[in-house]
Amino acid sequence: MIDVRNLSKRYGRHAAVSDISFQVGTGKIVGFLGPNGAGKTTTLRMLTGYLPPSSGSARIAGYDIFRQSIKARRHIGYMPENVPLYDEMRVREYLRYRAQLKGLKGKDARQHIGEAMDLCGLSDVRRKMIKTLSKGFRQRVGLADALVHKPELLILDEPTNGLDPNQIRSIRNLIKHLGQTHTIMVSTHILSEVEMTCDHVIIIDEGKIKATGSPPELVSQMRAAGKITVELDADAETAAGALGRLEHVKKITQEPSEDEWARFSLLVDSGTDTRERIAELASQHGWPIRSLYRHTATLEDVFVELTRKD
């Protein structure tokens, strides 16, 4: 559905996007991640035809987004980060206007508008003025606008920006539902949402792609140290020295404890599990264990490892 090859965008000497390439298959939900200023929005604007590239190419559904712009854009529904809505229009009126701009008329327009409102949960507010809607409903109107011409591809830039947790959950469920019939590319800062929603992830930083793969694949490839926490009924200084001498332990930190038990956080080599050795050590010294836990890496850990500057 999306085929990007050596795409770049420069502003003078500054490269906002530098020679990136990636593909997105039909029917996938893809998370497009990166810190502020990484080049996410610039990339999305090039894919939707809003910005011309400095070099490279991009195809949507087989059409070159720059040489065959109109044909390519017929396959795209775009929801920008700050949805531009006309506050003095009613919801249905606004969607009718947007449908006309996209070439829909008569019965087809009415059918498409009704289906978009049903999908986005807007039927009960269809006669309300847009200015009276909550942030969550305004986002839904923007999404319905992106859907009204039934595009195969949805490109969503920060669709949960400014929403409360209940609204975020609602939009997340809607995106998952839409993913059954659409290819979706979503840019967001909420990494837990990506883990729960996306089949594939692309991480970009400083205009370059740093990693691509499914969330489990990216987590399994992490180079960073793993983390284990343990609570022992032992002298803290003695236990810290013994734990620090275990194989694969890189660093040990004593954590605050609410009672006399000693609590430690251990950084261990990536791909290792030192819990069995810790249990054996405690047994040898007669130290009761209250808890022994290995922290599972998350997509947030991957993101931090790939984009941190220190």
- pLDDT digits over 222-247, tens only? 665 578 999 999 999 999 999 999 99
In this predicted structure, what is the pLDDT of residue 86? 94
As a whole number, the mean pLDDT across the chain is 90
In this predicted structure, what is the pLDDT of residue 306? 81
CA dist list (Å): 309 to 54, 160, 205, 303, 304: 27, 27, 11, 12, 9
Q: How confident is the model at residue 19 (pLDDT cuts 50, 70, 90)?
A: very high
Count of other CB atoms within 10 angstroms of residue 9 = 22
Residue 38 has pLDDT above 80, yes or no: yes
What's the pTM?
Answer: 0.79
H/E element, 18: strand 14-24
- pLDDT digits over 158-176, tens only? 888 777 888 888 888 888 8
Contact 65, 49 (CB under 8 A): yes
Query: Do the bridges between strand 14-24 and strand 200-205 make them parallel or antiparallel, or are there none, so unpaired?
Result: unpaired
Backbone angles phi, psi at 207, to 5 degrees: 80, 5
Domains and CATH numbers, the chain: 2-220 (3.40.50.300), 226-307 (3.30.70.3100)
**Tokens found for residue 268:** 């261990």
